[in-house]
Amino acid sequence: MASREINARAGLSEPIQSATAAQNYSRPLAIVTTLFFMWGFLTCLNDILIPHLKSIFDLSYARVMLVQFAFFSAYFLFSVPWSKVVNTIGYKTTMVVGLLTMAVGAFLFLPAASAVSYPLFLTALLVLAAGITGLQVSANPYVDLLGRPETASSRLDLTQAFNSLGTTLAPKIGGLLILSAAPLALAQLQQLTPEALHLYRVQQASSIKMPYTVIGVALLLLAVLIGVSKLPKIEAANTVSEQKANDSIWQHRNLLLGALGIFAYVGAEVSIGSFLVNYFGLSEIAGFSAKTAAGYVSFYWGGSMIGRFLGAPLLQRLKPGYLLALCAIAAGALVMASMLLSGHVAMWTILAVGFFNSIMFPTIFSLGEAELGSLSGTGSGLLNMAIVGGAVLPVIQGAIADSVGLHHAFVLPVICYLYILYYALQGSKPNSERYGNI
């Protein structure tokens, strides 16, 4: 789920563009790509934390979805402040500060596990995600500017593929490390004394300490690597080219509806991924243990990775809106099928949704940015903040699951895909196309 920096400017000076076009930046690009892998891995690790914390604290679906609410709220809260940091200290230093902030968040999981405190876990997630937002705000535009403008899309596609690699590996590794011990059933928990219940929770929470300690150390080492690397210096532009008279982002319908599209897409993707472990544990679906189910979640995110590799050439041959519409129809139909069916068929149909999610973010993003010109930086900020859909919609789906059961709670993603279908065919038309048809 990569996004561009909110102050990425279209009006960079010509000397910078000429300099970047004349050099080979393979090595710095490889170094920065590690950041994409890292934040993809950490974002998807939440899918393993959710069932684990649900069992430890005996949470409802709505309450445990506060994990995603705390995490994805960071995009809304910190995108603008981080953009100001980029303009003040530059891309490279912002990457280092973002990694250090992430390390602080990772290490906060240790006292949260020791105290067995759900609010402290949420605080750790918010700090961790705040650092990830800093990476999003700095690394994405850096890659975009690190080379010739005509190859920027291919560079971003490549780095986003490594982001998907991180999301694919996280459920498998996280399941092995965090979900190694089978949790007690609710009836067993109710039979424990308060002292025994506390000891059980401490024991279960302790499985989180080692993975996040390793992650914290890795983030510190990565910060050192970025800090000592001789990355090309690209100045963050503080001014933009002169805008057209009376033009504003509010006059670009494709951008405003695109922001809702990003909100719906991220919300749907995160909502589905967040519930998969519990979904596969249902007796009418697969009856898997949490550890076994976690391994299958990798197929969901792996499908997205494969789809991105296949979608890149297709987007060059087909009209993006039509391909987006096709993917929205397929994703919505697969979710509906999973709700109507049962057993392993229902499991594999919901996993297949990941493949059709693959091209949605970059396609909605590019359609929303169409014809913005010098307003592209501001428009990018609006689209970036819309990632907060990953915070809001999982909580709503959790409330639906508590009311009607998890099997039929996926109606919310279906509604999201219907909106994306509308945006692909109608809402994404830029002003020139809209007014040209009048």
Q: What pLDDT digit, counting tens, does each position of 336-374 carry?
A: 999 999 999 999 999 999 999 988 988 888 888 788 776
- Does the pLDDT value for residue 128 go beyond 70? yes
The band of 88, judged by pLDDT with boundaries at 50, 70 and 90, is: confident
The angle subtended at Cα 139 by Cα 238 and Cα 144, nearest 5°, is 75
Residue 17's pLDDT band, with cuts at 50, 70 and 90, is: very low
State how far the alpha carbon of 299 is from the alpha carbons of 13, 255, 278, 348, 362, in Å: 44, 32, 16, 9, 21
Write down the residue that tokens 């980029």 correspond to: 86
CA neighbor of 168 nearest in space, from 67, 273, 17: 273
What local confidence, expressed as pLDDT, does residue 131 receive? 95
**Dihedral sign, CA of 423, 429, 434, 437?**
negative
Please give the pLDDT value at position 80: 82
What integer pLDDT is reported at residue 284 of this predicted model? 95
pLDDT of residue 14: 33
pTM value?
Answer: 0.80
Contact, 428 vs 257, CB < 8 A?
yes
Cα separation of 368 and 414, whole Å? 22
Distance in angstroms (rounded) separating the CA atoms of residues 48 and 173: 10
Q: Between 179 and 123, whose confidence is greater? A: 123
Q: Which residue has the higher pLDDT, 254 or 12?
A: 254
| pLDDT score at 186 | 62
pLDDT at residue 72 above 60? Answer: yes
Q: What is the mean pLDDT of residues 27-38?
A: 88
Token reading at 175: 């399941």
What per-residue confidence (pLDDT) applies to 156? 65
DSSP 424: I
**Residue-wise pLDDT tens digits, 182-220:** 666 666 666 777 787 778 888 888 889 999 999 999 999
The residues, ordered by sequence, that sit 6+ positions from 304 with a Cβ below 8 Å of its Cβ are 164, 167, 168, 354, 355, 357, 358
- pLDDT of residue 402 exceeding 60, the answer is yes
pLDDT digits (tens, 9 = 90+) for 223-248: 999 999 888 876 544 444 444 546 78
Q: Rounded mean pLDDT of 307-314?
A: 82
On average, the pLDDT of the chain sits at 84
How many residues are given for the chain? 438
Share of the chain above pLDDT 70, in %: 85
pLDDT tens digits, 271-295 = 999 999 999 999 999 999 988 998 8
Kindly tell me if the per-residue pLDDT of 13 is higher than 60: no
